[in-house]
């Protein structure tokens, strides 16, 4: 599911491309701010861990791992705690804002892994890891992406719950109890952090493999020529937005990607006249249907 599609024509080459508005600004804003907060949380978390780098009773004294000082933030235990407990507000705030937006806008359908996605996971895994045939892309996110994104949201929630149990083990003693006690809560917190790092590694590899247009879609919201539209004819799409002008979509962001692009057309399914099914120029932003668009 996505908000809207438009076509853009290169003034220089005349090549017409399709673009889909995939990521609303709230999602992009929360994604990037949360990413920064997460990196600070991890680096400062390692600083805190360096103060007691073990999960045992420290008898005999044996460190679990010597985390390099260069990859820790805060300088010492107190500094690490200050960074950690400051950025947790941004981490939690952007997480709640994102979740609230997804639920109330209905955009969660694009990313939430549901039972109907289960069958689609293996073909994608087969393709990526065992050189299988490429499954046809039908949606913004393939089933494996949905699984990964839904799981990482769950991990984000767990990181906060285990963190609360470690931070306030007396006040939240029931939470620490559910996790097997304070020591186990600490281990879970650590394990969840590694799971998120593991996700991030895979996420970054996939982002690198899927090219520039995929990456910039998380900056501008627009993705050019998404795979699920290949071979489709824009004016015939039935998945297009019902009332594009009202959406106030930031089409300028797309044009900004390449100065030579100008908007050609967008589909308004309410226009039933078959004659309108051509590429009648229309400017979704102006809302006047004139099609007189800027670059």
Find the part of the chain contacting ligand HEM (CB under 6 A) among 12-20, 72-80, 215-223, 248-256: 215-223
Contact 254, 19 (CB under 8 A): yes
Q: Return d(Cα 28, Cα 130) in angstroms, integer.
A: 32
For the bound state, the minimum distance from the C-beta of residue 237 to ligand HEM, rounded and expressed in Å, comes to 19
For the bound state, the minimum distance from the C-beta of residue 113 to ligand HEM, rounded and expressed in Å, comes to 11
Q: Which of 195, 200, 271, 279 is the binder for ligand HEM (CB under 6 A)?
A: 200
For the bound state, the minimum distance from the C-beta of residue 226 to ligand HEM, rounded and expressed in Å, comes to 8
Q: Return d(Cα 187, Cα 78) in angstroms, integer.
A: 21
User: Quick one: which of 146, 149, 129 has its CA closest to 199?
Assistant: 149
**Per-residue mark of binding to ligand HEM, 159-198 (x: CB under 6 A):** -------------------------------------x--
Subset of 9-68 contacting ligand HEM (CB under 6 A): 22-23, 27, 31, 35, 38
**Per-residue mark of binding to ligand HEM, 92-111 (x: CB under 6 A):** -------------------x
Subset of 233-292 contacting ligand HEM (CB under 6 A): none
Find the part of the chain contacting ligand HEM (CB under 6 A) among 213-221, 250-258, 262-270, 278-286: 213-221
For the bound state, the minimum distance from the C-beta of residue 204 to ligand HEM, rounded and expressed in Å, comes to 6
Beta partners for residue 16, in sequence order:
9
DSSP 113-156: --GGGHHHHHHHHHHHHH--PPPPP-SSS-HHHHHHHHHHHHHH
User: Quick one: which of 227, 232, 266 has its CA closest to 246?
Assistant: 266
For the bound state, the minimum distance from the C-beta of residue 189 to ligand HEM, rounded and expressed in Å, comes to 15
Q: Of 189 and 282, which CB lies nearer to ligand HEM in the complex structure?
A: 189
Find the part of the chain contacting ligand HEM (CB under 6 A) among 12-20, 119-127, 130-138, 207-215: 207-215
User: Quick one: which of 12, 144, 35, 170 has its CA closest to 95?
Assistant: 35
For the bound state, the minimum distance from the C-beta of residue 121 to ligand HEM, rounded and expressed in Å, comes to 16
Q: Of 195 and 279, which CB lies nearer to ligand HEM in the complex structure?
A: 195
The count of chain residues that interact with ligand HEM, using the rule CB under 6 A, is 19
Residues in the chain: 295
Q: Which runs of consecutive H residues, i.e. helices, occur in the chain?
A: 25-51, 77-105, 108-111, 118-130, 143-167, 173-178, 182-209, 211-220, 244-247, 251-257
Q: Of 217 and 265, which CB lies nearer to ligand HEM in the complex structure?
A: 217
Q: Of 16 and 207, which CB lies nearer to ligand HEM in the complex structure?
A: 207
Q: Is 206 exposed, middle or buried (0-12, 13-18, 19+ CB in 10 A)?
A: middle
Subset of 121-160 contacting ligand HEM (CB under 6 A): 149, 152
User: Quick one: which of 36, 32, 38, 34 has its CA closest to 163?
Assistant: 38
Contact 75, 69 (CB under 8 A): no
Residue numbers of the site for ligand HEM (CB under 6 A)? 22-23, 27, 31, 35, 38, 111, 149, 152, 196, 199-200, 203-204, 207, 214-215, 217-218
């Amino acid at each position: 599911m996505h908000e809207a599609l438009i076509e853009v024509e290169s003034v220089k080459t005349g090549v017409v491309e399709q673009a889909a508005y995939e990521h609303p600004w709230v999602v992009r804003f929360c994604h990037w701010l949360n990413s920064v907060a997460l990196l600070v949380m991890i680096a400062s978390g390692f600083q805190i861990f360096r103060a007691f780098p073990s999960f045992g009773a420290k008898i005999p004294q044996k460190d679990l791992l010597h985390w390099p000082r260069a990859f820790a933030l805060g300088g010492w235990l107190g500094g690490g705690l200050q960074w950690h407990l400051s950025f947790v507000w941004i981490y939690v705030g952007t997480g709640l804002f994102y979740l609230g937006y997804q639920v109330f806008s209905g955009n969660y359908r694009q990313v939430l892994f549901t039972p109907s996605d289960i069958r689609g996971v293996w073909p994608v895994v087969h393709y990526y890891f065992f050189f299988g045939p490429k499954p046809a892309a039908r949606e913004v996110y393939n089933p494996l992406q949905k699984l990964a994104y839904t799981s990482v949201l769950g991990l984000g929630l767990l990181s906060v719950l285990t963190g609360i149990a470690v931070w306030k083990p007396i006040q939240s003693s029931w939470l620490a109890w559910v996790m097997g006690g304070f020591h186990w809560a600490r281990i879970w917190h650590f394990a969840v952090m590694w799971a998120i790092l593991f996700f991030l590694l895979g996420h970054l590899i996939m982002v690198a493999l899927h090219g520039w247009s995929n990456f910039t879609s998380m900056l501008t919201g627009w993705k050019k020529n998404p795979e699920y539209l290949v071979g489709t004819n824009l004016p015939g799409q039935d998945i297009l937005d019902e009332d594009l002008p009202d959406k106030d979509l930031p089409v300028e962001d797309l044009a900004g990607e390449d100065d030579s692009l100008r908007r050609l057309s967008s589909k308004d399914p309410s226009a039933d006249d078959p004659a309108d099914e051509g590429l009648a120029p229309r400017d979704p932003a102006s809302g006047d249907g004139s099609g007189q668009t800027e670059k």
